[in-house]
Structure 1
């Protein structure tokens, strides 16, 4: 029975921070504020609403701006992919996993519409049989419900979740799923402080890790 593999998106398969950085700064420029790319990395992971709250706090802008910025951010997010790049080795790894018969899915906190938009733009959507965004359910990661839903949509078989962050690690723990940590993404803490089944920094390692850890506790 083939291993079902679900991936996080931002910071795992793609480096989207430059586009998110651009959207954020365009929205807060009228208020006389800007954030750095490093700050953008640190704010990503818990969804758009939390990103905006972190951005407002970091720039000492009024928290009441949140509700006005949220729909504008979501709208701009739909076309925020011109600077986004696929991490090295991702497509080769996905090709190898598909060749082995592994059903693949996405579970991200990015809203679903911009998730599909960037997947289509980068021609990555063809790899994934199911895609779950931060607004697909009433809850999002680290609640395990979206991850469980993604695996359920992929049928039966061992499960592995692949992500880059503390949020992904917590989600996998809550779901009771083996977690492979991509170490070149947007994590905020050292690798040894993030619970994981195995860690990797090169996608060429991923197929072998899947074979090794499929079905692990």
Structure 2
């Protein structure tokens, strides 16, 4: 990145560090970037298209957040003329989320910040784990917390069509079932037991960054009829 990209006209910004009259020095009206991060993968490859945000204490007891700008592929500029601690969050496809903190100081004449320039190496996601994942792990109890081992637990897709439900599989733990191996998205959970009012629940099952099912732990307490 050229040095000019670290400096922008002050008129485009909302705040600058001002020199007080007693300083009697001529501070120019350009604004200097607070931090420039170079994002790289474990192999040194440029990481572009990341979502990079920074936050800092605004001096009034609050916290200000803003986006960093990607000036060039893999090069991100965070804030202008902001001194002190910048806390930076990084999210990029194929990599683990990262947090990075920089401390931004001032030049000797205190007219500008001194740009912190650092390289951040991101950790690649490990998507090799292909173990079977259940959409829901369901615990069924009475209202007083007693496990209901004889409950009928079923799941199905949350659609308008008349799609039959599938039985969940009981585990070795009394009152626990596993439902929907490898399923994700909007699902329905139907729980019935003799002598109890049934429950029909809509469950949103997300996937992680690798596209794998994220199991949802659900406890259903049935009310006696």
- TM-score, normalising length from structure 2? 0.23
Q: Which has the larger radius of gyration?
A: 2
Higher share of residues assigned helix: 1
Relative contact order (C-alpha < 8 Å, sep 6+): which is higher?
A: 1
Task: Decide which structure has greater strand share.
Answer: 2
Question: TM-score w.r.t. structure 1 length?
Answer: 0.23
